[in-house]
Amino acid sequence: MNYLAAIGSYFIMIREVFKKPTKWRIMKSLILKEIDELIFGSLGIIIFISFFIGGVVAIQTALNLTNPLLPRNLIGFATRQSVILEFAPTFTSIIMAGKVGSYITSSIGTMRVTEQIDALEVMGVNSLNYLVFPKIIALCFYPFAIAIGMYVGIFGGWLASVFGGFCTSADFIEGIQLDFIAFHVTYAFIKTILFAFIIATIPSFHGYFMKGGALEVGKASTTSFVWTSVVIILVNYVLTQLLLG
Amino acid sequence: MIVVNDIHKSFGDSEILKGISTTFEKGKTNLIIGQSGSGKTVFLKCLLGLFEPEQGIISYDGRDYSSLTGDEKRDLRQEMGMVFQGSALFDSMTVEGNVMFPLEMFTKQSKSEMQERVDIVLKRVNLIDAHNKFPAEISGGMQKRVAIARAIVMNPKYLFCDEPNSGLDPKTAILIDNLIQEITEEYDITTVINTHDMNSVMEIGQKILFLKNGLKEWEGTNKEIFKTDNAAVTDFVYSSELFKKVRQMYIEERN
């Protein structure tokens, strides 16, 4: 019953976020600040993760190609498919649920604890619009970060394959061009946009409606990470079934 | 003027406010006192519109809050200033940014007009050199003064303060009390202060409302509180030996 009430509250919160918008002059600067914090501030970790995941996928694929009849370009093919379909959009989003999600929950939760949200409400500001809307808009740029992650992941796979001696550069490049289906990239970006919305709103919900003090801010951050990850994984399954199944 | 008539507020099965009626007059410092759990904070939040009472009427200069539309409620809130217990300053903004915030949100003033207004109110609360400091870089007393500046920057009709002296040393607490009283009289606003501080009660309590278990137990002025025979009030206000002696001396002097 509590879960149902929380789901209901979440959707009511989403409706409130889009009501009574804040002045554009102020909103614009809030959006730019959030883009800097949430997108540019995450590029480093996205690049780091993608690079090494791409490398590991390539090495593991190469080590499993024990049959000499299997072409070496499969390493590039498997790396491309894994990185574009899952690792860049889903795996990175779960990491982002931890990094960005915790930041969102703790920053909004701290504002709740220190009565800053009450201060906004007393002034007549729609606090949900002021706090959550800029995060949703900023995370609309998340697919660009994931696109960089895809590129870097495949590049990491190429480096690991070529310099690890698993295949030649030509084999790898042939592999990443093999049977390329453009819709797979579209599918990955559709997922990414939905994940971005989830990463912006679920942690905001946990921060905004938290009760208690500093300890509860920490607990809310953990809970928000768990629920954001769970929802990302469920949505990933449903979208995959709908779009590729 | 704020008129409160028979308000009730419950959370689940627990009735916190059990029918409070009173009047907070314009140009006066109205204090709400009472033990922890007496319903002071809930009462103040009802006055601010953060909680809606299940029963009763709160009227702001003739405007019944419960009968206002959503937009009218927001407009009314823009006539209110609030000083929170912990100041509730926005951490990411400088002192100037905090005070300018309501002007940026709700007025169409130019940057220079806003700057001029911010300078006036910061000067009024005796904060001249703190414009570019962040809340974390200033003392608790200065934070309270910034909160007061932010609360009055829009020329509010109603000023609410929740424990404005908590965490302050006695000297700073008196400065804040005097500042609130001066601003109340100067701007002719209706000020309601939620406090535990007996110094404030004695110094600036032009009207005092004593709550007990969600009910109005007593109301009067800081002069009358010396003379009252209400046992609940005297137990609460004169709980320390010092205050008991002060009261005794006052009564003896008068006799």
Q: Summarize pLDDT for A43-53 with one digit per residue, the tens.
A: 999 999 999 99
pLDDT of residue A1: 61
Residues of A with CB under 8 A from a CB of B: 20, 22-23, 25-26, 110, 114-116, 118-119, 121-125
Q: How far is residue A233 from each of residues A151, A228, A237, A240, B212, measured CA to CA in Å? A: 23, 9, 6, 11, 52
Q: How far is B90 from chain A (nearest CA, A)?
A: 6
Closest chain B residue to the Cα of A22, Cα to Cα: B105
Domains in chain B, please, with CATH?
Answer: 1-79+157-229 (3.40.50.300), 90-155 (no CATH)
Q: What is the mean pLDDT of each run of 10 residues along chain B (255 residues)?
A: 92 89 91 88 90 91 88 85 90 93 90 92 85 91 89 90 84 84 88 87 87 90 81 78 74 72
Cβ within 8 Å, pair A121-B86: no
CB contact under 8 A, A22 and B105: yes
Which of A114, A127, A130, A211 to mutate to test binding with chain B, by most B CBs within 10 Å of its CB? A114
Answer whether B88 sits within 8 Å of A20, measured CB to CB: no
Range in A54-63, A115-124, A129-138, B194-203 with the lowest mean pLDDT: B194-203
Q: CB B78 to CB A26 under 8 A?
A: no
**Among candidates A115, A122, A123 on the partner chain, residue whose Cβ is nearest the Cβ of B105:** A123
Q: Which residues on adjacent β-strands are paired with residue B2?
A: B24, B60
pLDDT, residue B12, reads 85
Contact by Cβ (8 Å): B57, B6: yes
Q: B43 and B17 in contact (C-beta within 8 Å)?
A: yes
Minimal C-alpha gap between B85 and chain A (Å): 9
3-state secondary structure of B234: helix
Q: What is the pLDDT of residues A185-216, one digit of tens each?
A: 999 999 999 999 999 999 999 999 998 888 99
Residue A118 is nearest to which of B74, B88, B104, comparing CB atoms? B88
Instruction: Say yes or no for a CB contact (<8 Å) between A124 and B78.
Output: yes
Q: Average pLDDT of A6-35?
A: 92
Listed in sequence order, the residues at least 6 apart from A42 whose beta carbon sits closer than 8 Å to its beta carbon are: A96, A99, A100, A145
Across the interface, whether the CB atoms of B50 and A116 are under 8 A apart is answered no
Check residue B255 and give its pLDDT. 67
Is B18 strand, coil or helix?
strand
Overall pTM surpassing 0.95 (yes/no)? no
ipTM given for this complex:
0.82
Contacts of A125 in chain B (CB under 8 A): 105
The C-alpha of B183 sits at a distance from chain A's nearest C-alpha, in angstroms, of 19
Decide which of B37 and A135 is more confident. Answer: A135
At how many degrees (to 10) do helices A182-208 and A127-138 cross? 160
Name the token pair of A23: 């002045």
pLDDT recorded at residue B229 = 80
Q: Does the pLDDT of residue A148 top 70, yes or no? A: yes
Mutation pick from B105, B153, B192 vs chain A, by most beta carbons of A within 10 Å, is B105
Instruction: Please name the member of A20, A23, A114 whose beta carbon is closest to the beta carbon of B86.
Output: A114
Q: Which chain A residues contact residue B151 at CB under 8 A?
A: none
Task: Report pLDDT digits (tens) over A84-102.
Answer: 999 999 999 999 999 999 9
Contact (CB<8Å) A25/B105? no
Residue among A25, A116, A122 minimizing CB distance to B48:
A122
Tell if the CB–CB gap between A122 and B50 is shorter than 8 Å.
yes
CA distances from A215 to A109, A221, B7 (A): 11, 10, 34
Measured between CA atoms, how close is A140 to chain B, in angstroms? 23
- A49-71 pLDDT, tens digit each: 999 999 999 999 999 988 888 88
Amino acid B76: pLDDT:
87
CA distance B234 to B213: 16
pLDDT value of position A123: 87
User: Tell me, what's the pLDDT at B155?
Assistant: 86
How close is the nearest chain B Cα to the Cα of A115, in Å? 5
Query: What's the rounded mean pLDDT across residues A147-167?
Result: 95
Rounded to the nearest integer, the mean pLDDT of chain A is 93
State both tokens at B224: 């009358």
3-state secondary structure of B3: strand
Q: Do A116 and B105 touch (CB under 8 A)?
A: no
Chain B positions touching A118 (Cβ under 8 A) are 50, 82, 84, 88
For residues A236 and B198, the model is more confident at A236
